[in-house]
Chain A
């Protein structure tokens, strides 16, 4: 002790009497807002970030490619049909315009096709598969976004009203949901699609008609919980109007549930659109959907597998990326999984 004491300043045992050292309510660690904190956790999730970049890539590609006329062209060329993928400068079997025929690899680009390059090949009508796949992707994304918008508005409103009103209104609204849940979604969609004129509008409509249920249930459960919390009770007792409470107090607190569920609704909408198009009651030709492309590809996949591979891979990638990103968001928003 003694030798240590030598190093101490002379006034070491003076009281710090002025009280300036008392920083009473100082919070030592920098505080993170909920969103920042979630974002930090999402950024740490590599798979989710990669998925996000893949999705951005697809979105840019699907919409950006519309600016390039040659990629936009989906006209039929009966004399250029069923050509395998051929990318200039690449000499890998499968992408160099060759095809296995009778056990031998032969160049399919002969005659009229000698100077053509279909990067992803052409279909049975000689349409550019790259252009078709891009347009199918675009359609998937558009339909998913629009359908999700409807899910959001219908589902969130339904959930808030049901949870907020409570009592008989709630019971009645829940009964409706129960009935809708006891019919497989797809059956409802098919019945409605039979009724409407086939087209993008009808698809969006039937997707919206069945897609909101999950959102409504989650939002209702959360609203029921929030309804009885002090800050909402305070707003109510101060005479705040219900719609104002909904916007100022409920929505911000529902945001994480809504964001996460939206991210999981999107792949669902993409799936159902592709599914309906696959069984032939989706968007009518000549509009291309990934579902139609896969269905067309399946018919000839014994000899021309590339026609099925490409749309199948794109659809699967979209689904995987949306699901992983959705999972990542859920983990990021869910306080239970915080380290």
Chain B
């Protein structure tokens, strides 16, 4: 997977949290790449480690975090182990983040113009007036009406959707190479979600940035991402292009996620769900962490962790079902339908 286009390389990342109850193994050997200009979606349940992964890229983890191993390289520059001071030069300049909750992520006592302009003043030594001019441009770009008058307004004077546009403006103002969007639409109304996603897509094309898009909602991924990585219990269990993940998924967990997503032709009255809860990462289970919730589990799943099996050049999945010795299983109906569709596209 080595590639000149890679702007970010994460290799064998391991992260623990030290808590009163013991060590929580939050990230257990995660590797992925991000190419220039692409959107990578990281999908998984709450607690699967999506946010922890991206927080480590930003160097924004909580103080009880322990990096147990691995590397994160931005354009061949190692990020892990950088001091807070070095990191702060990095953040906002090369990598920016769009936060989840626009209601709490803006400083309530600072004018929003100043909040948008701040990264420019820090990283490019721009004067306040000049930075505010740029902020005004950016506000127009993210679709805030009457931008000029609103420059001096405070966050509480804006609606949730408008605030998220401001948060996006803050992230984009320095034209960073990577934008991390951590569930950027979860806190918003459904109608506004679509608008914000569309805006992000448009702006991505305009400034040619890469996006890491974190979500638990596969529905959002389809229209947004180029590639998808599915995370479960601190590991990536399957990754591939959007089409591969949506129409030819191999991991039972991905099957579960896709089956529990309503589509236009969902006929059954009950939406299937994945039974059970994620494992306790204080003591991760031996073998495949998903086994206890997996009705396709093999005996070996309780003994040994599955390695990644190659499905195609871009598509890998960590499940013993792909082993030659494993019995052939039939995925749920919903997935069979999708796979048929996938074959139809590819044979065309």
Which of A's residues lie within 8 Å of B, judged by CB? 1, 4, 8-9, 11-16, 19, 21-29, 44, 339
Contacts and interface: CB of A to CB of B under 8 A. Distances in A.
A197 to B, nearest CB: 54
A11 B283 CA distance: 26
Please indicate which of the listed interface residues B291, B300, B323 has the most CB atoms of chain A within 10 Å of its own CB.
B300
B326 A22 contact: no
A21 B287 CA distance: 13
Given A15-B296, A16-B297, A21 B327 contact: no
A13 B327 contact: yes
B276 A23 contact: yes
Contacts of B323: 13
A9 to B, nearest CB: 7
B320 A27 contact: no
A14 B326 CA distance: 7
Interface stretch (B7-15, B179-187, B302-310, B340-348): B302-310
Interface of B: 19-21, 64, 275-277, 279-280, 282-283, 291-304, 307, 320, 323, 325-327, 329
A29 B280 contact: yes
B276 A26 contact: yes
Nearest to A29: B280
B303 A12 contact: yes
A29 B307 CA distance: 28
B53 to A, nearest CB: 22
A12 B320 CA distance: 10
Given A15-B298, A28-B279, A22 B292 contact: yes
B282 A15 contact: no
Contact of A12 (B21, B282, B292, B300): B300
Contacts of A8: 300, 303-304
A25 B277 contact: yes
Nearest to A32: B21
Nearest to A10: B299
A15 B297 contact: yes
B279 A339 contact: no
The 10 A-B residue pairs with the shortest CB-CB distance in the complex, in nearest-first order: A28-B280, A12-B300, A24-B275, A24-B276, A13-B325, A16-B297, A13-B326, A339-B20, A14-B299, A29-B280
Contacts of A14: 298-299, 327
7 contacts: A13-B298, A13-B325, A16-B291, A16-B302, A21-B292, A22-B276, A24-B293
Please indicate which of the listed interface residues A9, A44, A339 has the most CB atoms of chain B within 10 Å of its own CB.
A339
A339 to B, nearest CB: 5
B119 to A, nearest CB: 30
A292 to B, nearest CB: 47
Contacts of A28: 279-280, 282-283
Please indicate which of the listed interface residues B64, B301, B320 has the most CB atoms of chain A within 10 Å of its own CB.
B301
Given A25-B277, A339-B20, 20 more contacts: A4-B304, A8-B300, A8-B303, A12-B303, A13-B323, A13-B326, A13-B327, A14-B298, A15-B299, A16-B297, A16-B299, A16-B302, A24-B275, A24-B293, A26-B276, A26-B292, A28-B279, A28-B283, A29-B280, A29-B282
A16 to B, nearest CB: 5
A19 B295 CA distance: 7
A27 B298 contact: no
Contacts of B19: 339
A143 B302 CA distance: 64
Contacts of B275: 22, 24-25
Contacts of B326: 13
A204 B326 CA distance: 80
A224 to B, nearest CB: 21
Given A1-B307, A13-B327, A27-B277, A22 B298 contact: no
B321 to A, nearest CB: 9
Contacts of B21: 29
Contacts of A44: 20
Given A13-B320, A13-B326, A29-B282, A21 B297 contact: yes
A18 to B, nearest CB: 10
Given A12-B303, A29-B280, A23 B297 contact: no
Contacts of B292: 21-23, 26
Contacts of A4: 304
B300 A13 contact: yes
